[in-house]
Amino acid sequence: MTTRTVAIGSSVGLHARPAALFVEAVNKAGVPVTICKPGGDPRPANSMLTIMALGAKHGDEVVLGCEADNADAVLDELVALLERDLDAE
């Protein structure tokens, strides 16, 4: 499994708007992606409830995982999204 660790860039963390944008991007990728906090149990990243339940705040790290053939490209795109302050856009 290909993984990436990223610090949350949104100033208020992965609350409703940033979480919705992230879930939309995961679903658009069309491949299974997992998310968890470091050392946590990976969960499907295509669920708004899963993302909100993480309770990830600004600066918290999360680990994304993917086993698809295009995992590197998918994860790079998702990492770039999470690194941005989606609340400021």
Looking at 15, 43, 58, 84, which residue is catalytic?
15
| Both structure tokens of 50 | 């899963």
Query: Which residues are within 8 A (CB) of 64 and not within 5 positions of it... i.e. 6 or more apart?
Result: 3, 4, 5, 6, 33, 34, 35, 45, 75, 78, 79
Q: Is 58 one of the annotated active-site residues of the chain?
A: no
Residues with a catalytic annotation lie at: 15
